[in-house]
Structure 1
Amino acid sequence: MNSLTYPEHLQLASLALADGTPPAALGLGPEWTIVDHSDVLGRGSGCLAAAGERLLDWRAHAHARVRANREGRLVRLSFGPTLSPCLILAEERTPTRTVLVYGTLPGHVECGEEAFIVSMGDDGTVTGRCVAFSRHAWWLARVGAPVARVVQRVVTRGYVAGMRP
């Protein structure tokens, strides 16, 4: 059950994308859709801590109407009629950043990886960000690809908005 649905060499590529590595340099060709959305959440260490909590306790997902059921490194995401299993690949908290990364497992509607980052800059500005690469895995998502991509972008914006304390 811990077998990711995308190539092993792409594991944690979402963090590399967030750090500025070009998709092609990571082996992400045109078949992959890249989503990168960020927004200012507030200022200061209190905002950073609160936003990090909202990310790690799944309130950011709930804000986007995605229900999360976590058991160890396995998380099952529910959105509408879908149930999508993921494997948590990274989870970290530092004095200036909180990170959560998960990759898709068999049965997920998408194939790919998503990184969620809450960070505080030198000026105290706290930013929430979601960076993902994916391609459709579910037949209905492939058939309705334009609609599925719009839904993905709306949900991504909801994740970031849900990080705001």
Structure 2
Amino acid sequence: MVRLIRALTHPAAAPGVLTYPEVGATGSGRLPAGYQYLHHTVRVGHGRKAFETAGAAVTTWRMHRASGARVRADALRVEPGALVEVSIGAGPVRLVAPCQVVWTAYERDRTGFAYGTRARHPECGEESFVVDLHPDGSVWFTVTAFSRPAALYTRLAGPLAPAFQHAYARRLGRTLRRIVEGEK
């Protein structure tokens, strides 16, 4: 929670820079009204080593890159205020999503972050990527998001945009599981 508060007061996370007012809501546990929601949780491993591997993959952009996304970030590891551009596709059909990290969690049994949308992002909202080590030793990855269309083409896509987001969250979970299994 301390890092969430720091993120919300970080100068780079100032209101007006992001395209939505509810900055940090994925870290508070209360998602704002008026958005579509995504919540996807998947088990990715077991034990402290699996947790540390998964947490490092999430917070160094490795998971995103290994899933096939192109990532350009101004920080090697996620930190509040860091700017990132995630894109998928190729050439003229490349979808570009400018974001900014709004909170991080580097805790004993929880690691992750959230980024929020910036201008030119096809959606408006926030998405978090969190790895938890449960008391039974199981390691879980959760994607939580709230969003709504911000571009004409995402509005026209209708129900295809949320379906794409869910498919991408599932892909990230499978990718993270493969990374963890490869580090055993």
Give runs of aligned pairs for residues 111-150 of structure 1, distance below 5 A: 111-150=124-163
Does the 8 Å CA contact 1:97/1:118 hold for their aligned counterparts?
Answer: yes
1:75 to 75, 84, 87: 84
- Once the two structures are superposed, what CA deviation does each residue of 1:86-123 show, in whole Å capped at 9, x if it has no partner? 01112232221111110000011110001110010111
Residue of structure 1 equivalent to 2:117:
104
- In structure 2, the partner of 1:5 is 19
Unaligned 5+ runs, structure 2: 1-11, 76-81
Equivalence for 2:52: 49
Secondary structure of the corresponding residue to residue 6 of structure 1: coil
Counterpart-to-counterpart distance in 2, 1:37 and 1:106:
26
Report the residue type matching 2:138 in the other structure: T
- The aligned counterpart of 2:39 is 36
The root-mean-square deviation of aligned C-alpha atoms, in Å, is 1.5
Amino acid at match of 2:24: L
Identify, as 1 or 2, the structure richer in strand: 1
Q: Give SS of 1:78's match.
A: strand
Q: Which residue of 1 aligns with 2:8?
A: none
CA contact (8 A) 2:27 2:103 kept: no
Q: Work out whether 1:60 is the aligned partner of 2:63.
A: yes
Q: Aligned residues: percent identity?
A: 31
For normalisation by structure 1, the TM-score amounts to 0.87
Report the AA paired with residue 132 of structure 1. Answer: A
By how many angstroms is 1:153 displaced? 0.7
Deviation at 1:39, TM superposition (A): 0.6
In structure 1, distance between residues paired with 2:173 and 2:101: 18
Aligned residues: 154
Distance 2:107 2:119 in 1: 31
Displacement of 1:160: 2.1
Compute the displacement of 1:54 (Å): 1.2
1:29-59: per-residue Cα shift (whole Å, max 9, x none)?
A: 2x30010000111111000000011111212
Shift of 1:63: 3.7
Question: What SS does the corresponding residue of 1:108 show, helix, strand or coil?
Answer: coil
The match for 2:79 is none
Instruction: Give 5+ residue unaligned stretches, structure 1.
Output: none
Q: Is the 8 A contact 1:63 1:161 kept in 2?
A: no
